[in-house]
Chain A
Amino acid sequence: MRLNKRKFTQSVTLKKSLPAYVFLFPWIVGVILFRSIPLFTSLYYSFTDFKLFSSPSFIGLKNYEFMFTIDGHYFNAIKATFTYVFIGVPLQLIWALILALLLDKNMRALPIFRSIYYIPSLLGSSVAISMLWLQFFGSKGMFNKVLEFFNITTFGQFPWISNPNTSIYTLVLLLVWQFGSPMLIFLAGLKQIPAELVEAAKIDGAGRSQIFRHVTLPVLSPIIFFNLIMQIIHAFKAFTPAYIVSGGSGGALGSVMFYTLYIYKSAFTDFRMGYASALGWILIIIIVVFVVIIFKTSKWVHYAD
């Protein structure tokens, strides 16, 4: 009797869940076909010398060995990418938070400002903006004209975008410019700060900076944490700006050879698919390691519960 009741319950549960599985089916097929299979195929290729036009043959860890012991371009790519991520992301979040704080007022034009400030996030990764950046920071670009306008003539017609010492920072600036998305999330977070906490702090005599440090930041910390993780992952995946400003070459001295651009170059210019697959898997590991580090050091995040 008990067994029949369990079977009956399971049968009813399955019948109720069946439509859900049926609707999920296309997505599951998509994940398997377009995500899982390519992912694990690339893992296999990373242990081969697959060169796009020939069959892959197993070479063990040679790709990884080459990467870490011989390939100077690899460490160049790491340097460029880390500079972009670990300087660009904090600056972007700081700027996004500042603007969110400024906009966290009950002003009529808030939706308009929000929309305007969000536009760079929509366009920033596009080819058109990258080309604009190329022109803007070129030797005869608008940036030098602006400096000239303010009588800053020290740099003359300096090619900011192609000089290996400065080119990466023009792309960091591009990343910072795309602050709209984290700003909106910060704005939503600021709206969630309980008013009574702020009032209580004011009653206790706290000034604005003290309220910010002891009330706003702690309550906002989960949002900051979320934005940090998402923007770091997004920055590690950056490709278009580096490709456009350097024409795919990675720039002089590989100064803007982002990791993803190096993967692209290895795969589609040098035809070294096996090596590119190995590079891709190391990138996954790098991102996972940094995310784990951030999680493990997240004692500064305060959750309301």
Chain B
Amino acid sequence: MKKILICLLVISMLVVSGCAQTTAPTTSTGTSSSGATAAKTTSATDAPKKKITLTFGWWGSILRNDKMNAILDLYQESNSHITIEREFAAYSDYLEKLAMQMAGGNATDIINSSGLFASPYATTNQIIPMDPFVDSGLIDLNDWSDLAIETGKFQDKLYMITYGTGGSCLSYNQSMIERAGMALPNIDWNVDEFKDYVVQLQSKLEPGTYALTPGLSNDQYFYSWVRSYGYEITDGKKITAPTSVIVDWFTYWNDLDKLGVLPAADLWAQESAKDWEESMQVKNTACMQFRPMNHVPILQTYSEDTFNVVRIPKIPNADNARNEYIQNVGMCITSKSKYPEECAKLINFIVNDQEAQVIYNLDMGFPGNKKVISEWLVGKLPAGFDKIQNLNDIILADKDVSPAVFFPATFSSFMPSELISASDKVSFGQLSPQAAAEEFVKSANALLS
């Protein structure tokens, strides 16, 4: 009797301790399966199709989450055999989670990615090329711009279908400048003229308000700077930009800091991490900030002031060139997905369906499909978009501007933090621009090797 009791107890312990069921993955902000009101059952007239569950992950704000959920609900309405389980998180949370999911082989079928960090997944076959889906017509790129298609390519294969592109620019609070009685920024300015302008602007602003936010560690503007000199920052094995170019970068920002147009480094360290609605530009404590273009309509939604954009200043030391880094963010299909063709169809729907694009409303910048702006969103463009559209046309017409690339796998994971580290030392006066540039190159080369 005693032995039977012991055995029963042991078995119950094993069951309790060892057999917890895994639950569906959850995110830092939330997970939802389909919220669609559309029935999951098939209609009487359709032949029953195999029920499929796709998983889809993205990063973004609440506004973007609402848009994506609405688009996916729309897709499910016309594809009732498909259920889309969604995972979304803030940008940095998403990236960390994505890395772990990829390593664990349980990433979503469709992921969000960017040329800044997609190459490790491509080189290790964690994401699949989508060329076969384009060739078969599942993904229709006939109405797409070449630039948008190119931004999704790595080693001549199409790994990513972009939501939208947009170059680095200088965003500014037009209303604040007008209140200060200044002329608006000049699109043809160079960095010296820019410095004069911000000094003048700063003199007309109230105490505690700054003409410009620091951008030493703004990686996309940094890439734009390096590209303006005619170099890529790395070939994957070492830093290929001359140290002098990087010295110029740190010197440029050091000069701006000495001119008193930037907030103190410790204040910016606190402010830079805040969300959109708490940002210095929205709170009117800073006028200008270097940003990707697609940020400006988002800023506009949080502010009653009018925001506008202008090109990054020309660089006299680089023969007055400027080569804006064109941001590329899009969707990739993971290699572990059981339904790659269904994923391709869903991606095609998101980027090529009129209703879906009206909902998405240019959230990530300029879509690949030219019809979106020229036909579908006529009269419905988000506030502020006309300004970035004008600037985008100007930038793309500039022969010096080259498409975005996928950064080499070994570089993209740690480069931003190395730039931040060197930038902090300049901002806090620990290192001169020369010393910071040398340290950055040495450290990055050590990591690349």
Docked CA distance A164–B99 (Å) = 29
Picked from B103, B123, B265, B417, the residue with its CB within 8 Å of the CB of A249 is B417
CB distance B270 to A254 under 8 Å?
Answer: no
**Within 8 Å CB of B199, what residues of A?**
none
Minimal beta-carbon separation of A265 from chain B (angstroms): 7
**Within 8 Å CB of B446, what residues of A?**
66, 70-71
Picked from A29, A53, A247, A270, the residue with its CB within 8 Å of the CB of B126 is A53
Picked from B414, B425, B430, the residue with its CB within 8 Å of the CB of A269 is B414
**Within 8 Å CB of A251, what residues of B?**
269
CB distance A159 to B120 under 8 Å?
Answer: no
**Within 8 Å CB of B430, what residues of A?**
253
Picked from A30, A139, A270, the residue with its CB within 8 Å of the CB of B267 is A139
Picked from A23, A159, A270, the residue with its CB within 8 Å of the CB of B270 is A159
B residues near A, CB below 8 A?
6, 9-10, 13-14, 17-18, 92, 95-96, 99-100, 102-103, 120-121, 123-124, 126, 265-267, 269-270, 273, 413-414, 417, 420-421, 424-425, 427-428, 430, 439, 443, 446-447
Picked from A25, A52, A162, the residue with its CB within 8 Å of the CB of B269 is A162
Minimal beta-carbon separation of A275 from chain B (angstroms): 9
CB distance A26 to B269 under 8 Å?
Answer: no
CB distance A253 to B428 under 8 Å?
Answer: yes
CB distance B414 to A23 under 8 Å?
Answer: no
* 13 additional A-B residue pairs with CB within 8 Å, beyond A23-B13, A139-B267: A52-B102, A53-B121, A53-B124, A71-B446, A72-B421, A159-B270, A162-B270, A249-B420, A252-B427, A252-B428, A253-B425, A268-B99, A269-B96
**Within 8 Å CB of B265, what residues of A?**
252
Question: Taking CB as reference atom, which chain A residue is nearest B18?
Answer: A26
**Within 8 Å CB of A19, what residues of B?**
6
Number of chain A residues close to chain B: CB under 8 A = 36
**Within 8 Å CB of B121, what residues of A?**
53
Picked from A164, A247, A270, the residue with its CB within 8 Å of the CB of B414 is A270
Minimal beta-carbon separation of A121 from chain B (angstroms): 26
A255-293 CB mask vs B (1 if < 8 Å, else 0) is 000000000010011111000000000000000000000
In the complex, the 5 A-B pairs of residues with the closest C-beta atoms, listed nearest first: A162-B270, A163-B266, A162-B269, A53-B124, A252-B269
**Within 8 Å CB of B413, what residues of A?**
269-272
A22 at interface (Cβ–Cβ under 8 A)? yes
CB distance B270 to A138 under 8 Å?
Answer: yes
Given A159-B269, A248-B92, A271-B120, A53 and B443 contact (CB-CB distance below 8 Å): no
Docked CA distance A247–B269 (Å) = 10
Docked CA distance A54–B428 (Å) = 38
Picked from B18, B92, B100, the residue with its CB within 8 Å of the CB of A247 is B92
A73 at interface (Cβ–Cβ under 8 A)? yes
A161 at interface (Cβ–Cβ under 8 A)? yes
CB distance A161 to B417 under 8 Å?
Answer: no
CB distance B120 to A161 under 8 Å?
Answer: no
A19, A23, A51, A162, most chain B CB atoms within 10 A: A162
**Within 8 Å CB of B425, what residues of A?**
253
Picked from B10, B17, B273, the residue with its CB within 8 Å of the CB of A22 is B10
CB distance B120 to A254 under 8 Å?
Answer: no
**Within 8 Å CB of A22, what residues of B?**
6, 10
**Within 8 Å CB of B267, what residues of A?**
139, 159, 162
Picked from B103, B414, B417, B427, the residue with its CB within 8 Å of the CB of A53 is B103
A30, A53, A268, most chain B CB atoms within 10 A: A53
**Within 8 Å CB of A269, what residues of B?**
95-96, 99, 413-414, 417
CB distance B6 to A52 under 8 Å?
Answer: no
A152-164 CB mask vs B (1 if < 8 Å, else 0) is 0000000101111
16 inter-chain pairs at a CB distance below 8 angstroms, sorted by A residue, are A22-B6, A23-B9, A26-B13, A26-B17, A53-B120, A66-B446, A139-B267, A162-B270, A252-B427, A252-B428, A254-B421, A268-B100, A269-B96, A269-B413, A269-B414, A272-B414
A290-305 CB mask vs B (1 if < 8 Å, else 0) is 0000000000000000
Picked from A52, A70, A247, A253, the residue with its CB within 8 Å of the CB of B99 is A52
Docked CA distance A254–B120 (Å) = 26
CB distance B17 to A73 under 8 Å?
Answer: no
Minimal beta-carbon separation of A108 from chain B (angstroms): 42
**Within 8 Å CB of A162, what residues of B?**
266-267, 269-270
Minimal beta-carbon separation of A51 from chain B (angstroms): 8
Minimal beta-carbon separation of A60 from chain B (angstroms): 15
